[in-house]
Amino acid sequence: MTWGFYGRAEELASLQAILGRERWFFARITGRRRIGKTTLVQRALLDSTNRPVLYVQIPDSGPAGVLSSVADAMDTFEIDPAVHPRPKSLHALAQSVGQLAEAGYLIALDEFQYFSRKPLYEFTSHLQAVVDDLSSRASSVPGGLLVLGSIHVELVALLEDRNAPLYNRTTDHIELDHLDIASLSTLLREHADTEPNRLLFLWNLFEGVPKFYRDCYEQGVLDKGRHDLLRQMFFRSSSPLRTEAENWFLSELRGRYDIVLKFVARRPGCNHGDIHNHVTSVSSSSKDQVAGYLKTLIEKYRMVEKRLPIFATPKARKGRYYLRDNFLRAWMAALQGAVAAVNFRPVETLVEQADKRLMDAEGYGLERLVAQLYEERARKGVGDFALTHRIDGYWNRNDTEIDLVAANADDKVLRFGTCKRSPARLAPDLPHFDGHIERFLKDKANKKYRNWTIQKVAIAPQLDPETRKAIEAKGYLPQDLVDLTTGL
């Protein structure tokens, strides 16, 4: 089958509704790099027949580089220079946006956050005047402006900061997140298979980034084995993902935060002290910058998340740190070093080494995948558990560790889950896991749950009938990824 357009039904409908007004709009579309912002816009524009379009990817450069990219885009979209001259300044660029909108053009400026850079910032003041003029007579302006951005804080600063020229000017906002599991299941059914271990491997590596799945499809390895996929996608000179992280994610950091990112990737759940000690051992000159590094990685780049202890208040200072993005975590923890050594060691040795590290990371990946599946099933009314919320966070007691705590507050049902990548480890570990549940229920902080109905589940990627019987014999409900994706 040819590659299709997967998921995004709600976001596509929202964007089509914006375009369908046929009056002035100023909309922003945000999401991490490669998440599908441009594809969404392209898909929506396909349905906007006979509407002229200008799409420009703004480079991270000075005014000359931006104006050159705009001129090239206007040539590509065959915009008559006699009617719409190529802008020679940032002020002229803003005027061009207004003139094109009045002529009915749908204008998309990708990587708009680069206008927060000092050499380009004046453009936002010029654009403010244009936007205000167009907004004052919106019904008579048939075109509109879409701005796309992947660095959240910088884009928000341009459009939501009270002191920014464009504050409160946007008319619409669409936020793109990862594709849901239902969309990935459809994608895999059409182009590979939904075998549970394949789903876990691909989700742990790519999560819900459609671009990466399409790259695998175009390279002919989406339906191949783990080593074949890793070799083709990362270890050949022409591999499409060999430089992906460096060029599209880490280049923004300019090497300043690599030491922290790599440590958090390899030690998910580390605390501030762990990071500080590691940074000090590697570079004593950086030890006083750890707090600043973490703040930037959490708030500006949204690469790291801080998770609080179970039942902690939002202002609690204690926390543990994790990489938010599966692809970045897989790259930093398992692939980066192996790919860098490709000219010095046998490729098969490096592929095997990288795959082993990825498998080590799949235990934590399975926990996150299961949590997402529980939430997605609840949203769609699928399955046997009506989730109202998850009790999220980490356990602040060394003797208590529970992978999943799912609550149905309406019926007062609490479901505890343990996740193992290896099915053989599940049944023997269940008596030990009973102790974790008992300690949870005895804790004074959890006394409100003592009269709730308690359910226990044991989860692995795939379970055979014999393992299911062994799990059931110990009072647990067996679940695997086949069970959890059925009906989505």
383-412: per-residue pLDDT in tens?
A: 899 999 998 877 766 677 899 999 999 999
Task: Provide CB contacts within 8 A for 217, sequence distance 6+.
Answer: 3, 191
Angular region, 365: left φ>0, alpha ψ -120 to 50, beta rest: alpha
Task: Provide CB contacts within 8 A for 222, sequence distance 6+.
Answer: 188, 191, 192, 213, 216, 229
What value does the mean pLDDT of the chain take?
91
Fold for the domain defined by 383-485: Trna Endonuclease; Chain: A, domain 1 (3.40.1350)
- Report the alpha-carbon angle 378-359-283, nearest 5: 105
**Per-residue pLDDT at 396:** 67
Tell me which residue has tokens 């008992």: 438
Is 111 in contact with 54 (CB distance < 8 Å)?
no
pLDDT tens, position by position, 350-373 = 999 999 999 998 988 999 999 999
CATH architecture of the domain covering 250-324? Orthogonal Bundle (1.10)
Instruction: Report the 3 state secondary structure along the chain.
Output: CCCCCCCCHHHHHHHHHHHHCCCCCEEEEECCCCCCHHHHHHHHHHCCCCCCEEEEECCCCCHHHHHHHHHHHHHHCCCCCCCCCCCCCHHHHHHHHHHHHHCCCEEEEECHHHHHCCCCCHHHHHHHHHHHHHHHCHHHCCCEEEEEECCHHHHHHHHHCCCCCCCCCCCEEEECCCCCHHHHHHHHHHHCCCCHHHHHHHHHHHCCCHHHHHHHHHCCCCCCCHHHHHHHHHHCCCCCCCCHHHHHCHHHHCCCCHHHHHHHHHCCCEEHHHHHHHHHHHCHHHHHHHHHHHHHHHHHCCCEEEECECCCCCCCCCCEEEECCHHHHHHHHHHHHHHHCCCCCCHHHHHHHHHHHHHHHHHHHHHHHHHHHHHHHHHHCCCCCCCCEECCCECCCCCCCCCEEEEECCCCEEEEEEECCCHHHHHHHHHHHHHHHHHHHHCHHHHHHCCCEEEEEEEECCCCHHHHHHHHHCCCEEEEHHHHHCCC
**Rounded average pLDDT over 288-292:** 81
pTM for the whole thing? 0.89
Max Cα–Cα distance, the chain, nearest Å: 80
CATH architecture of the domain covering 9-175? 3-Layer(aba) Sandwich (3.40)
Asked if residue 199 has pLDDT above 90, the reply is yes
Structural tokens at position 87: 């802008």
Tell me which residue has tokens 């804790």: 443
Amino acid in position 5: F
Every domain of the chain and the residues it spans = 9-175, 181-246+334-364, 250-324, 383-485
pLDDT tens, position by position, 304-351 = 899 888 777 767 778 899 998 899 899 988 999 999 999 999 999 999
Is 304 in contact with 321 (CB distance < 8 Å)?
yes
Closest CA to 359 of 323, 335, 395, 337: 335
CA–CA distance, 413 with 430 (Å, rounded to integer): 20
**Per-residue pLDDT at 252:** 63
pLDDT tens, position by position, 170-191 = 999 999 999 999 999 999 999 9
**Rounded average pLDDT over 26-42:** 92
How many CB atoms sit inside 10 A of residue 483's CB? 19
Asked if residue 287 has pLDDT above 80, the reply is no
**Rounded average pLDDT over 96-116:** 96
| β pairing state of 320-323 and 413-419 | unpaired
Closest CA to 11 of 160, 148, 131, 194: 148
CA–CA distance, 483 with 477 (Å, rounded to integer): 11
Asked if residue 234 has pLDDT above 90, the reply is yes
Structural tokens at position 270: 């580390």
CA–CA distance, 378 with 78 (Å, rounded to integer): 48
pLDDT tens, position by position, 115-154 = 999 999 999 999 999 999 999 999 999 999 999 998 777 8
392-414 exposure pattern, b = at least 16 Cβ within 10 A, e = fewer: ebbeeeeeeebbbbbbbeeeebb
CA–CA distance, 67 with 74 (Å, rounded to integer): 11
